Amino acid sequence: MNKTSSLPPSVARLIDAFAQLPGIGPKSASRLAYHLLRAPLEHSMMLADALRDLKARTKLCSRCYNITESDPCEICMDEKRDQSLICVVEEPLDVSAIERVRSFNGVFHVLHGVISPMNGLGPDDLKINELIARIAKQATSDEPVREIILATNPTLEGENTAAFIQRKLAASKVSVSRLARGLPVGGDLEYADEVTLSRALEGRQQLR
Protein backbone atom coordinates (compact mmCIF):
# COMPACT_ATOMS: atom_id res chain seq x y z
CA MET A 1 0.00 0.00 0.00
CA ASN A 2 1.22 3.49 -0.80
CA LYS A 3 2.30 5.18 2.44
CA THR A 4 0.99 8.53 1.20
CA SER A 5 -2.50 7.16 0.40
CA SER A 6 -3.95 8.61 3.64
CA LEU A 7 -2.79 12.10 2.71
CA PRO A 8 -4.67 14.62 0.59
CA PRO A 9 -3.93 13.83 -3.07
CA SER A 10 -2.14 17.15 -3.63
CA VAL A 11 0.25 16.52 -0.71
CA ALA A 12 0.88 12.91 -1.72
CA ARG A 13 1.60 14.01 -5.28
CA LEU A 14 4.15 16.60 -4.11
CA ILE A 15 5.89 14.08 -1.84
CA ASP A 16 6.07 11.56 -4.68
CA ALA A 17 7.50 14.28 -6.96
CA PHE A 18 10.21 15.23 -4.46
CA ALA A 19 11.05 11.54 -3.95
CA GLN A 20 11.96 11.28 -7.64
CA LEU A 21 14.88 13.67 -7.13
CA PRO A 22 18.36 12.15 -6.65
CA GLY A 23 19.42 11.89 -3.02
CA ILE A 24 15.88 12.54 -1.73
CA GLY A 25 14.32 9.64 0.18
CA PRO A 26 10.71 9.35 1.38
CA LYS A 27 11.41 11.08 4.71
CA SER A 28 13.25 14.00 3.10
CA ALA A 29 10.50 14.30 0.49
CA SER A 30 7.88 14.48 3.24
CA ARG A 31 9.84 17.12 5.15
CA LEU A 32 10.17 19.27 2.02
CA ALA A 33 6.46 18.99 1.27
CA TYR A 34 5.42 19.92 4.81
CA HIS A 35 7.91 22.78 4.83
CA LEU A 36 6.15 24.25 1.79
CA LEU A 37 2.77 23.71 3.43
CA ARG A 38 3.84 25.77 6.44
CA ALA A 39 5.80 28.38 4.48
CA PRO A 40 4.23 31.59 3.14
CA LEU A 41 2.49 31.27 -0.21
CA GLU A 42 5.14 33.39 -1.94
CA HIS A 43 7.78 30.74 -1.20
CA SER A 44 5.78 28.12 -3.08
CA MET A 45 5.10 30.54 -5.92
CA MET A 46 8.80 31.39 -6.15
CA LEU A 47 9.65 27.68 -6.40
CA ALA A 48 6.95 27.14 -9.03
CA ASP A 49 8.21 30.11 -11.08
CA ALA A 50 11.81 28.89 -10.84
CA LEU A 51 10.84 25.42 -12.05
CA ARG A 52 8.82 26.85 -14.92
CA ASP A 53 11.69 29.13 -15.98
CA LEU A 54 14.15 26.23 -15.69
CA LYS A 55 12.34 24.24 -18.36
CA ALA A 56 11.28 27.20 -20.50
CA ARG A 57 14.56 29.13 -20.69
CA THR A 58 17.41 26.65 -20.42
CA LYS A 59 18.94 24.71 -23.28
CA LEU A 60 22.21 23.01 -24.13
CA CYS A 61 24.96 25.03 -25.74
CA SER A 62 25.37 23.74 -29.29
CA ARG A 63 29.14 23.95 -28.93
CA CYS A 64 30.05 22.66 -25.45
CA TYR A 65 26.69 21.18 -24.32
CA ASN A 66 26.73 22.99 -21.01
CA ILE A 67 23.38 24.26 -19.69
CA THR A 68 22.74 27.82 -20.82
CA GLU A 69 20.06 30.38 -21.57
CA SER A 70 21.92 31.65 -24.63
CA ASP A 71 23.46 29.70 -27.50
CA PRO A 72 26.41 29.60 -27.68
CA CYS A 73 26.93 29.95 -23.93
CA GLU A 74 28.82 32.82 -22.29
CA ILE A 75 31.98 30.75 -21.77
CA CYS A 76 32.16 29.67 -25.42
CA MET A 77 31.55 33.24 -26.56
CA ASP A 78 34.17 34.76 -24.26
CA GLU A 79 36.95 36.07 -26.54
CA LYS A 80 39.40 36.05 -23.62
CA ARG A 81 39.10 32.27 -23.31
CA ASP A 82 41.66 29.94 -24.88
CA GLN A 83 39.51 28.09 -27.41
CA SER A 84 42.35 25.68 -28.17
CA LEU A 85 42.20 24.19 -24.65
CA ILE A 86 39.13 22.05 -23.95
CA CYS A 87 38.35 20.53 -20.56
CA VAL A 88 36.07 17.50 -20.86
CA VAL A 89 33.78 16.94 -17.87
CA GLU A 90 30.93 14.59 -17.02
CA GLU A 91 28.21 17.01 -15.92
CA PRO A 92 27.38 20.75 -15.96
CA LEU A 93 28.03 20.88 -12.18
CA ASP A 94 31.67 19.99 -12.92
CA VAL A 95 31.96 23.13 -15.03
CA SER A 96 30.84 25.19 -12.04
CA ALA A 97 33.36 23.42 -9.81
CA ILE A 98 36.30 24.18 -12.12
CA GLU A 99 35.13 27.74 -12.69
CA ARG A 100 35.31 28.34 -8.93
CA VAL A 101 39.05 27.70 -9.08
CA ARG A 102 39.54 30.75 -11.37
CA SER A 103 42.79 29.33 -12.75
CA PHE A 104 41.42 27.67 -15.91
CA ASN A 105 41.13 29.91 -18.96
CA GLY A 106 40.09 27.35 -21.55
CA VAL A 107 36.65 26.14 -22.57
CA PHE A 108 34.61 23.04 -21.75
CA HIS A 109 32.86 20.06 -23.26
CA VAL A 110 30.15 18.36 -21.20
CA LEU A 111 29.59 14.63 -21.80
CA HIS A 112 26.37 14.37 -19.78
CA GLY A 113 27.37 11.13 -18.11
CA VAL A 114 29.93 8.35 -18.29
CA ILE A 115 30.11 5.01 -20.05
CA SER A 116 28.25 2.66 -17.73
CA PRO A 117 26.96 -0.64 -19.15
CA MET A 118 25.30 -1.38 -15.81
CA ASN A 119 23.13 1.71 -16.30
CA GLY A 120 22.65 1.12 -20.01
CA LEU A 121 24.89 4.03 -21.05
CA GLY A 122 27.26 3.51 -23.96
CA PRO A 123 29.54 5.92 -25.87
CA ASP A 124 26.74 6.89 -28.25
CA ASP A 125 24.60 8.03 -25.31
CA LEU A 126 27.18 10.67 -24.37
CA LYS A 127 28.47 13.74 -26.21
CA ILE A 128 31.66 11.96 -27.33
CA ASN A 129 30.93 12.00 -31.06
CA GLU A 130 30.13 15.69 -30.72
CA LEU A 131 33.55 16.23 -29.13
CA ILE A 132 35.28 14.47 -32.04
CA ALA A 133 33.29 16.54 -34.53
CA ARG A 134 34.10 19.73 -32.62
CA ILE A 135 37.83 19.02 -32.77
CA ALA A 136 37.66 18.22 -36.49
CA LYS A 137 35.69 21.39 -37.24
CA GLN A 138 38.03 23.55 -35.21
CA ALA A 139 41.08 22.07 -36.96
CA THR A 140 40.35 24.28 -39.97
CA SER A 141 39.90 27.42 -37.88
CA ASP A 142 42.37 30.06 -36.70
CA GLU A 143 42.51 28.40 -33.29
CA PRO A 144 42.64 24.58 -33.66
CA VAL A 145 42.41 22.45 -30.53
CA ARG A 146 45.87 21.84 -29.09
CA GLU A 147 44.99 20.06 -25.84
CA ILE A 148 42.12 18.05 -24.39
CA ILE A 149 42.03 17.78 -20.58
CA LEU A 150 40.09 14.70 -19.52
CA ALA A 151 38.47 15.77 -16.26
CA THR A 152 36.08 12.89 -15.71
CA ASN A 153 35.70 11.84 -12.09
CA PRO A 154 38.28 9.40 -10.64
CA THR A 155 35.77 6.53 -10.52
CA LEU A 156 35.87 3.27 -12.48
CA GLU A 157 33.32 4.60 -14.96
CA GLY A 158 35.13 7.94 -15.21
CA GLU A 159 38.47 6.27 -15.85
CA ASN A 160 36.97 3.95 -18.49
CA THR A 161 35.31 6.91 -20.21
CA ALA A 162 38.58 8.86 -20.24
CA ALA A 163 40.42 5.85 -21.67
CA PHE A 164 37.78 5.46 -24.40
CA ILE A 165 38.09 9.12 -25.41
CA GLN A 166 41.87 8.86 -25.41
CA ARG A 167 41.68 5.93 -27.84
CA LYS A 168 39.25 7.84 -30.06
CA LEU A 169 41.73 10.73 -30.24
CA ALA A 170 44.79 8.54 -30.83
CA ALA A 171 44.89 9.32 -34.55
CA SER A 172 44.62 13.08 -34.06
CA LYS A 173 47.42 15.54 -33.39
CA VAL A 174 45.72 16.87 -30.28
CA SER A 175 47.56 16.50 -26.97
CA VAL A 176 45.53 14.61 -24.35
CA SER A 177 46.05 15.03 -20.61
CA ARG A 178 44.38 13.80 -17.42
CA LEU A 179 43.84 15.62 -14.14
CA ALA A 180 46.54 14.90 -11.57
CA ARG A 181 45.85 12.40 -8.79
CA GLY A 182 45.23 15.07 -6.19
CA LEU A 183 41.57 14.11 -6.44
CA PRO A 184 40.43 11.28 -4.15
CA VAL A 185 39.63 8.02 -5.91
CA GLY A 186 35.89 7.58 -6.15
CA GLY A 187 35.22 11.27 -5.55
CA ASP A 188 33.36 13.83 -7.63
CA LEU A 189 34.72 17.11 -8.99
CA GLU A 190 31.54 18.75 -7.77
CA TYR A 191 32.59 18.24 -4.12
CA ALA A 192 36.33 18.89 -4.45
CA ASP A 193 37.71 22.00 -2.77
CA GLU A 194 39.27 24.80 -4.82
CA VAL A 195 42.88 24.08 -3.76
CA THR A 196 42.61 20.39 -4.69
CA LEU A 197 41.05 21.21 -8.06
CA SER A 198 43.60 23.90 -8.80
CA ARG A 199 46.50 21.53 -8.09
CA ALA A 200 44.87 18.79 -10.15
CA LEU A 201 44.62 21.16 -13.12
CA GLU A 202 48.17 22.45 -12.76
CA GLY A 203 49.60 18.96 -12.34
CA ARG A 204 47.67 17.31 -15.16
CA GLN A 205 49.59 14.51 -16.87
CA GLN A 206 50.04 13.98 -20.58
CA LEU A 207 48.54 10.69 -21.75
CA ARG A 208 50.39 10.77 -25.05
Q: Is the pLDDT of residue 150 over 50?
A: yes
- Asked if residue 49 lies in contact with residue 70, where contact means CB atoms within 8 angstroms, the answer is no
Q: How confident is the model at residue 186 (pLDDT cuts 50, 70, 90)?
A: low
The alpha carbon of 21 is separated from its chain's Cα centroid by a whole number of angstroms, namely 16
Nearest to 106 by CA among 4, 174, 37: 174
Q: What is the pLDDT of residues 175-184, one digit of tens each?
A: 999 886 655 5
User: What's the gap between Cα 63 and its chain centre?
Assistant: 14
- Enumerate domains of the chain plus CATH numbers: 9-57 (1.10.8.420), 76-206 (3.40.1360.10)
C-alpha distances in angstroms, 60 versus 67, 113, 127, 167, 177? 5, 14, 11, 26, 25
Predicted model pTM: 0.78
Q: Single out the residue of 107, 109, 113 nearest to residue 66, CA to CA.
A: 109
**pLDDT beyond 60 at 98:** yes
Position 207 pLDDT exceeds 60: yes
Give residue 1's pLDDT band: very low, low, confident or very high (50, 70, 90): very low
